[in-house]
Amino acid sequence: MKKARLALAQHLQLTARLHIFSPMKEVNSISEIKVAITKLLMATEDQALLAEIRARLHHAAGDDKNWFENLDAEDKASIARGEADIAAGRVHTTEEVMRAARTWGK
The predicted-structure confidence for 44-100, as pLDDT tens digits, reads as follows 999 988 888 888 887 777 666 677 887 889 999 999 999 999 999 999 999 999 999
pLDDT beyond 70 at 8: no
The pLDDT score that the predictor gives to residue 94 is 92
pLDDT beyond 80 at 19: no
91 within 8 A of 85, measured Cβ to Cβ: yes
Of residues 39 and 60, the one with the higher pLDDT is: 39
Euclidean distance between CA atoms 85 and 31, whole angstroms: 36
Of residues 11 and 68, the one with the higher pLDDT is: 68
